[in-house]
Chain A
């Protein structure tokens, strides 16, 4: 058995993923265990989980595969400082402290963590890790590849091809042909506007996408002065509008403020929604404009990938591939029949991509694995649940009969209660897909405001997604999209069919939904719950949002679940077959 451990860390979203003979065994982000949102430190807890899950110990690993080339990144960091010196002096101090303190010694740190000699630690280029995280998880034997993020070493986007035959089909190859280079970056452009709109970089990008639905893209023309977009999707940022070369705190410059003619929104300022007015309407228009610009760029890049590869299959990865509206437009407009995006499309997914690249491209081993669900995190046993309940002094009702459990929870949802649903292994990627979820009745349009205010404590404009039984999803959205994997992972935003909107009103956002179709095979207990709700209401869907509070990672353990339950307005918690109610 060959064991390859993939690791990403030192920027944001540190993670580990473990392969045994090319098959994924376990994958998790460090933040779930450390309870520190976006934890970037070396993922010792996630590594420990992966090893334990596989029944291995340090020393049993054959290779550790890291998701980037650190010294290429250092080269870019030094070059950026040199170019913007002396303005970059403060950035330089902080950055060099990081490099000298930990980043330079990553080979030794990983070799120690995995208990193997340093020459067994491999370094895969950042965008090759991204590309592998999609292509080597996809159902395709060949595909075009498009990766887009903030920045890897020097690269900010790539187009290429992947030959990834499954069992018996020969070796795999991932060939990235063209790249965009720092500082010309779609991800950094989007993040700069995320910050302008008062949200946290690397966390608030979803909020920009959510806010965009409330605005009109009337700043779109102005943004042509911020970025030049070539017909082939390559871009050139007008750098005088950005500060990320020389500042720790600011991604945009006063020139961007002058151009837009409005001050940046204060972080955490309250929003006037659902009908933004005054300055909030302007911010919604800016969000709408940058969202449209991003979609246009991504579609143009995907067309280039299509011309380059002459394939009808596209694999996308990188943080920008989490933009579900752009993903739908890629499928509609870029000349592809099939689109695959893995549930962890961002930097965390690079851990898995690095492991897969080492296994199939570097070591040349044949490929058999295909990712069909997102449940690769830790699972907790009855004893863990019992211990958490005892420690909290909570009495739970236990319902072992699956149908009775589903019926009981479905009735609570019908009665307007908000239910936290904790089952099996937690999800790989930023989305809760029915194993660490907060659920509510999607029919009630007021439920969106209720969950945002009572449970999530977040901005009232933030949308929620529906989980819909796969057999019925075609009643809500155009069925032709439903063969696409991103619809299983909430990675594609689709228009809701006329006549279906009222049935899932709390999850419709600007006439669209970020759908998760639920296959009964992938999550049996969750599918049973949806069926029970369908039986009671005629609607085969529930509102599904991640089981966490604002600013916290999604819960991992039963103890995390109880803590979150106790600090929020959630009415009921279901831990496996244990039901705890606040009534």
Chain B
């Protein structure tokens, strides 16, 4: 990898695949967000609270 990574064609390929991954990631987040609002947005009454056990591991998560 290191011997070829400096070639322009390979750098281009890496950049394309990097941007591709970012785009796929963004689409996945948006699709998940889209599903979330579809299910949540029409809640008109109290919903049960969904959450994991409040542990240190859970509290470290930003999501």
Distance in angstroms between the alpha carbons of A366 and B62 in the assembled complex: 26
Which of B36, B40, B44, B63 interacts with A234 by CB under 8 Å?
B44
Please tell me if B1 contacts chain A, counting CB pairs below 8 Å: no
Distance in angstroms between the alpha carbons of A158 and B51 in the assembled complex: 13
A window 47-105: CB within 8 A of B: 65, 69-72, 75-76, 78-80, 82-83
Which of B29, B43, B59 interacts with A123 by CB under 8 Å?
B59
Please tell me if B7 contacts chain A, counting CB pairs below 8 Å: no
Please tell me if A346 contacts chain B, counting CB pairs below 8 Å: no
A177/B48 in contact, CB under 8 A: yes
Q: Name the residue of chain A whose CB is nearest to the CB of B29.
A: A78
Please tell me if B4 contacts chain A, counting CB pairs below 8 Å: no
Contacts of A160 in B (CB 8 A): 49
Contacts of B49 in A (CB 8 A): 155, 158, 160, 176-179
Please tell me if A328 contacts chain B, counting CB pairs below 8 Å: no
Given A75-B36, A82-B33, A180 contacting B59 (CB threshold 8 A): no
B33/A122 in contact, CB under 8 A: no
Q: How large is the interface on B (under 10, 10 to 19, 20 to 34, 35 or more residues)?
A: 20 to 34
Contacts of A124 in B (CB 8 A): 59
Please tell me if B19 contacts chain A, counting CB pairs below 8 Å: no
B63/A72 in contact, CB under 8 A: yes
Please tell me if A220 contacts chain B, counting CB pairs below 8 Å: no
B56/A362 in contact, CB under 8 A: yes
Chain B window 36-58, contacts with chain A (Cβ cutoff 8 Å), 1 for yes, 0 for no = 11001101111111010011100
Contacts of B43 in A (CB 8 A): 180-181, 184
Please tell me if B9 contacts chain A, counting CB pairs below 8 Å: no
B33/A179 in contact, CB under 8 A: no
Which of B40, B48, B62 interacts with A71 by CB under 8 Å?
B62
B62/A234 in contact, CB under 8 A: no
Contacts of B33 in A (CB 8 A): 75-76, 78-79, 82
Distance in angstroms between the alpha carbons of A183 and B42 in the assembled complex: 9
Contacts of B62 in A (CB 8 A): 69-72, 106-107, 123
Please tell me if A313 contacts chain B, counting CB pairs below 8 Å: no
Chain A window 231-261, contacts with chain B (Cβ cutoff 8 Å), 1 for yes, 0 for no = 0101010000000000000000000000000
Shortest C-beta distance, B18 to chain A (Å), equals 17
Which of B34, B45, B59, B60 interacts with A79 by CB under 8 Å?
B34
Shortest C-beta distance, A361 to chain B (Å), equals 5
Contacts of A234 in B (CB 8 A): 44-46
A122/B51 in contact, CB under 8 A: no
Q: Which residues of B contact A (CB under 8 A)?
A: 29-30, 32-34, 36-37, 40-41, 43-49, 51, 54-56, 59-63
Interchain residue pairs with CB less than 8 A apart (6): A79-B36, A122-B59, A123-B60, A154-B40, A182-B40, A232-B46
Q: Please give 17 more A-B residue pairs, beta carbons under 8 A apart, in addition to A76-B36, A184-B43, A236-B45.
A: A69-B62, A71-B63, A72-B63, A75-B63, A106-B62, A122-B56, A122-B60, A154-B36, A155-B49, A160-B49, A179-B46, A179-B48, A181-B41, A228-B44, A232-B45, A362-B54, A363-B56
Q: Which 6 A-B pairs have the closest CB atoms?
A: A79-B37, A178-B46, A79-B33, A71-B63, A122-B59, A78-B33
